[in-house]
Amino acid sequence: MDTSSHIIMGLGLAALAQMDPVVADHNTLSQAVILGTVIGSNAPDFDFIYRVKGKGSYFRNHRAISHSLPVLPLWSIAVSGIIYSFFPESSFLHLFLWTLLAVILHVFFDLFNVHGTQILLPFSKKWIAFDSLPLVDPNILLSHLLGFCLLPFFEPGRVFLIIYISIFLYLAVRTLSTVAAKRKLRHHFQHAIRIKLIPRMFLFKWDIIIETKEDFLFGVLSKGSLAIEHSLLKKIDFPELVSDSKSHPSVSDFLSSTHYAYPFVRARKNGYLIYWKDLRFRNNKFFPTLAIIYLSSDYKIKNCFIGTIHSLKQYKQVIRKLKNTTTLIEEPTA
């Protein structure tokens, strides 16, 4: 989920907290809980601090240790502890518990989109993603907005209890439909190595990646109907250059964030461009999330870009900078 979704969910949890009689009867505690649920709902994403060390560091560490099980109570202790210092007359226990719920739900919902999290760190580096929710789900947002509109007329806790029961039922439907769709695809593509579903905003519709020994198939699955849009042969030009590029720190960071990166090499007049593209994210045949390395004609790495390219104009600017500079180029923040 994106930041705005986590903020809205934090506000929804603050309304739900009014079911707690201790919170409902204590105005100061209610204010503290609002801060606790909103900040706690975003706390695991405070790993954006890794951007200070560069975009590669952020790719490697986002949704990693900050989203792991052992760290969840630590986030709640830190957030509720800071808030409690400003509201010492409130109940720390209730503030801590509602903040903890916000932190847990942040990571829980992140597990159900295409990115997933490394929730099992430090015991396992495996990425877990259930592929059930789009990164921004309008149904979850609209249900919260409906709940906010009803607050002047009904008891907040009961309103959001119904809202969250509905959201979890909705999540269950999405998850079961994803499992059924993947099972159907595996039955049809029995020799597939991997099948990845990328949920769209609408129910029962996914972008798909089907990996075989020979190629990748890209298409759309909608209400049980599959349309293959294009395929990509597994053919790597200049395999030695590709292999060597993996040792570059930025490429290594990029590869640690996805199991669906695939290399492409383009020979240019004065060198080579090596693209590592994340196949999970595409716009027709364009894969915007990637790492690009520029090598001179004598195979020396000059510089690298890592990030997301949003337009053809930006792509041309990135390639131009790669050829004309000797430092890491990162995605613009604007």
Report whether pLDDT(185) > 90: yes
Q: What confidence score (pLDDT) does residue 228 get?
A: 94
The pTM score is 0.90
Report whether pLDDT(334) > 50: no
Report whether pLDDT(307) > 50: yes
Same domain? 223 vs 140: no
Q: What confidence score (pLDDT) does residue 320 get?
A: 87
End-to-end CA distance of the chain: 20
Q: What confidence score (pLDDT) does residue 216 get?
A: 95
Same domain? 196 vs 315: no
Same domain? 301 vs 193: no
Same domain? 299 vs 252: yes
Same domain? 313 vs 294: yes
Report d(CA 8, CA 224) in Å as an integer.
Answer: 33
Report d(CA 114, CA 280) in Å as an integer.
Answer: 8
Same domain? 23 vs 148: yes
CA-nearest of 209, 288, 293 to 243 is: 293
For 144, the token pair is: 């919260």
For 139, the token pair is: 């149904």
Phi, psi (deg, nearest 5) at residue 130? -95, -5
Q: Where are the alpha helices (DSSP H) in the chain?
A: 3-16, 21-24, 27-40, 55-61, 72-86, 92-110, 138-150, 156-188, 239-245, 249-256, 312-324
Residue 41, helix vs strand vs coil: coil
Q: What is the pLDDT of residues 319-331, one digit of tens each?
A: 888 888 655 555 5
Report d(CA 140, CA 11) in Å as an integer.
Answer: 13
Q: What is the pLDDT of residues 238-284, one digit of tens each?
A: 999 999 999 999 999 999 999 999 999 999 888 899 999 999 998 88
Same domain? 316 vs 227: no
Give Cβ neighbours of residue 145 (< 8 Å, ≥ 6 apart): 8
**Does residue 294 belong to any structural domain of this protein?**
yes
Mean pLDDT calculated for residue range 222-232: 92
Give Cβ neighbours of residue 242 (< 8 Å, ≥ 6 apart): 236, 263, 265, 274
Domain that holds residue 104: 3-117+134-154
Same domain? 274 vs 297: yes
* Sheet strands side by side (includes 194-199): 194-199, 205-211, 215-222, 225-233
Q: What confidence score (pLDDT) does residue 333 get?
A: 40
Q: What is the pLDDT of residues 138-172, one digit of tens each?
A: 999 999 999 999 999 999 999 999 999 999 999 99
**Does residue 212 belong to any structural domain of this protein?**
yes
290-322 burial code (b ≥16 CB/10 A, e <16): bbbbbbeeeeebbbbbbbebeeeeebeebbeeb
Same domain? 96 vs 193: no
Report d(CA 127, CA 257) in Å as an integer.
Answer: 8
**Does residue 32 belong to any structural domain of this protein?**
yes
Average pLDDT taken over every residue of the chain: 93
216-242 burial code (b ≥16 CB/10 A, e <16): bbbbebeeeebeeeeebeeeeebeebb
Q: What confidence score (pLDDT) does residue 95 get?
A: 97
For the chain, what is the domain count? Answer: 3
Q: Are strands 194-199 and 271-278 parallel, antiparallel or unpaired?
A: unpaired
